[in-house]
Amino acid sequence: MRPLLFAANWKMQVTPEETGQYAAQFLGATAPAEGRALWFFPSAVSIGAAADAFGGRPDIRIGAQDVHWEPKGAFTGATSVPLARGAGATGALVGHSERRHVFGETDEETGKKVRALLDGGCTAFLCVGEKLEEREAGKTAQVVLRQLRAGLAGVSPEELRRVVIAYEPVWAIGTGRNATPEDAARVHAQLRAELSSFGATNRVPILYGGSVNLGNALGLLAQPEIDGVLVGGASLDPDGWTELVGIGG
């Protein structure tokens, strides 16, 4: 059985000082739980603070919100996998909807970032998801499977042990709207069926992301196809996040 995975994406929020305060509050209110894993994705400037503050908990890992595919070079403002690892990250989000649709990241670039993470010994969280107009045109499966194939091009079955997929419909991110548990589970099933062509189906966790909160998390996690959640705004409050990661436990 795959463990439930709770991933907190802090986006462009939470300073290093605030990270220490958050961690102290969160760690004081929670304990490791069997069958549950936690990831925090702070901004690049807070990775080191998060690694230090959460470092004593074996169930908690720290990731970067994005990486560049080159290990070093003249890429002002970018974070390479070695830099992220040096700060304390052991994984990263790639292909997040904001990277794709705000910053113009292509499917090919996302695939190169997955490759860089795996080559660097890190976990790759590959995000896929359709825009509203694509959903309304009945193209959800076409879009998310294209993104999945591009992101995993050249990835071996063994390497899939260090891959997590996150389905995050673009129309549901930060909008207060979310896919119903049944809708999300249907897309997750399509993704898992496609993963069979890469040589591994049940080993790869598939998360749901998109306006996840205390009100809808339990219904989503009740779906056997959903292995956890990728959460933005609802992860910023340590009290609320404490309650959410303990839901159903």
Residue-wise pLDDT tens digits, 153-201: 989 999 999 999 999 999 887 777 778 999 999 999 999 999 988 876 5
CA distances from 201 to 1, 36, 96, 113, 173 (A): 12, 20, 22, 22, 26
**Is the fold of 1-88 the same as that of 105-206?**
yes
- What count of Cα atoms within 13 Å lies in the side-chain half-sphere of residue 140? 19
Residues 50, 38 contacting (CB under 8 angstroms): no
Q: Quick one: pLDDT at residue 2?
A: 75
Single out the catalytic residue among 96, 130, 159, 225: 96
Q: Is 68 annotated in the active site?
A: no
The residue extents of the domains of the chain are: 1-88, 105-206
Q: Give 1-88's CATH code, choosing from 3.40.50.10860, 3.40.50.300, 3.30.230.10, 3.20.20.70.
A: 3.20.20.70
196 burial (CB, 10 Å; 0-12 / 13-18 / 19+) is exposed
**Residue 1 pLDDT > 70:** no
Instruction: Give residue 238's pLDDT band: very low, low, confident or very high (50, 70, 90).
Output: very high
Q: Is 182 annotated in the active site? A: no
Q: What is the mean pLDDT of the chain?
A: 94
Q: Which CATH superfamily is domain 105-206 in?
A: Aldolase class I (3.20.20.70)
For residue range 191-235, list pLDDT tens digits in order.
999 998 887 657 899 999 988 999 999 999 999 999 999 999 999
Selecting among 98, 105, 159, 168, the annotated active-site residue is 168
pLDDT in tens, 6-38: 999 999 999 999 999 999 999 999 999 999 999
